[in-house]
C-alpha cells in the first residue's frame, strides 16, 4: 500500500489529515466566538453537537484525523532520525529562509496535544461523554465560566495557542507542497496565506480565552 510504503504517500496522509485539522480548528474558533455575543446561541450549538448521530459521526471522523496525524508524525520522525544517522554535525546553522517551526514540528505538535488533553478533560469529558452515557449535563456556557475562573487556565491555553500558531504557519503551506499543489509562484502566496490564517485563528482563540477569563 503506497500510503504507508512510500515516503511521498506518507507525506500525503500527513497533508490531508493536517488540512482537515486546520478546517476543524477554524470551525472551532468560530463556534467559540458565538459565546462572546450570545450565551443562548452557544448553548444551542453545544446541544446541537451533543449525543446526536451526526455529532457522534463527526467526532469519530475528527478523532481518526487526529490519531492518524499523530501516529504518522511519530513514525515519520523515527524514520527521519534513522535516515539522518547517529553522528550529529559539530557546527550546524539554519539557513535564513528556513522557518524555525519547520524543524520543530514534532515538539510543537506534542505541546498542542498536551494542551488538547487538558482541554478535552475540561470540556469534552464533561459535555459529550456524559451525555453519551445518558447522564444529565449543564449547558455549554456553564463549563466556560467554571473553567476560565481558575487562574492557571489562561496561561496554559495561551501556551497551547502559541504552539498551534507555529505548527500551523508551517503545516498549512507544507500540506499543499506535499500534495503537489504548489509551484514557485504559489509557494510565496501559500506561505503568506499560512501566516494570515494561523494568525487569525490563534489570535481569535486567544481573544476568546481572555474574554472568558475577564469579561464573564
Partner 1 sequence: MESNISFTLKVWRQAGPKEQGGFKEYPMKDIPTDTSFLEMLDILNEQLVEKGEEPIAFDHDCREGICGMCSLYINGHPHGPATGATTCQLYMRRFHDGETITVEPWRSAAFPIIKDLMVDRNAFDKIQQAGGYVSFNCGGAQDANAILIPKTAADEAMDSATCIGCGACVAACKNGSAMLFVSAKVSQFALLPQGRAEAARRVKAMVSKMDELGFGNCTNTGACAAECPKNIKLSNIARLNREFLCAKFKD
Q: Which three cell numbers stand for residue 144?
A: 466556560
The residue within the footprint of partner 1, chosen from 57, 60, 63, 181 (CB under 8 A), is 181
Q: Which is nearer to partner 1, 6 or 52 (CB)?
A: 6
Determine contact, residues 34/41, Cβ cutoff 8 Å.
yes
Residues between 129 and 148 that touch partner 1 (CB under 8 A): none
Distance CA 36, CA 18 (A): 28
Binding residues with partner 1: total (CB under 8 A): 45
Q: Which three cell numbers stand for residue 215?
A: 469579561
Rounded least distance, CB 14 to partner 1, Å: 9
Distance CA 31, CA 46 (A): 9
Residues between 64 and 123 that touch partner 1 (CB under 8 A): 76, 79-80, 82-85, 87-99, 102-103, 105
Judged by CB under 8 A, the stretch of 3-11, 115-123, 125-133, 143-151 that binds partner 1 is: 3-11
Task: Say whether 88 sits in a helix, a strand or coil.
Answer: coil
Q: Which three cell numbers stand for residue 137?
A: 449535563
Q: Which three cell numbers stand for residue 90?
A: 559539530
DSSP state of 99: -
Report helix angle 7-37 to 140-148, nearest 10: 90
Binding to partner 1 by CB under 8 A, coded x per residue (else -) over 8-37, reads: xxxxx-------------------------
The residue within the footprint of partner 1, chosen from 183, 189, 196, 216 (CB under 8 A), is 183
Residue ranges in contact with partner 1 by CB under 8 A: 2, 5-12, 76, 79-80, 82-85, 87-99, 102-103, 105, 170, 173-174, 176-184, 187
Amino acid at each position: 500500500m503506497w500510503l504507508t510504503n512510500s515516503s511521498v504517500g506518507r507525506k500525503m496522509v500527513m497533508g490531508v489529515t493536517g488540512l482537515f485539522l486546520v478546517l476543524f480548528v477554524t470551525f472551532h474558533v468560530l463556534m467559540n466566538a458565538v459565546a462572546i455575543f450570545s450565551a443562548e446561541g452557544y448553548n444551542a450549538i453545544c446541544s446541537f453537537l451533543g449525543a446526536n448521530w451526526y455529532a457522534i459521526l463527526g467526532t469519530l471522523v475528527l478523532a481518526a484525523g487526529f490519531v492518524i496525524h499523530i501516529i504518522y508524525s511519530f513514525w515519520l520522525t523515527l524514520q527521519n532520525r534513522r535516515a539522518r544517522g547517529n553522528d550529529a554535525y559539530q557546527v550546524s546553522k539554519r539557513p535564513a529562509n528556513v522557518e524555525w517551526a519547520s524543524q520543530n514540528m514534532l515538539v510543537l505538535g506534542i505541546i498542542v496535544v498536551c494542551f488538547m488533553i487538558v482541554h478535552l478533560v475540561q470540556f469534552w469529558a464533561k459535555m459529550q461523554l456524559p451525555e453519551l452515557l445518558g447522564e444529565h449535563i449543564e449547558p455549554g456556557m456553564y463549563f466556560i465560566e467554571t473553567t476560565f475562573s481558575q487562574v492557571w487556565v489562561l496561561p496554559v491555553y495561551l501556551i497551547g495557542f502559541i504552539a498551534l500558531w507555529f505548527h500551523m504557519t508551517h503545516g498549512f503551506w507544507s500540506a499543499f507542497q506535499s500534495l503537489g499543489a504548489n509551484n514557485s509562484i504559489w509557494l510565496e502566496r501559500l506561505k503568506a496565506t499560512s501566516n494570515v490564517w494561523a494568525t487569525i485563528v490563534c489570535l481569535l482563540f486567544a481573544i476568546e480565552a481572555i474574554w472568558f477569563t475577564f469579561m464573564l
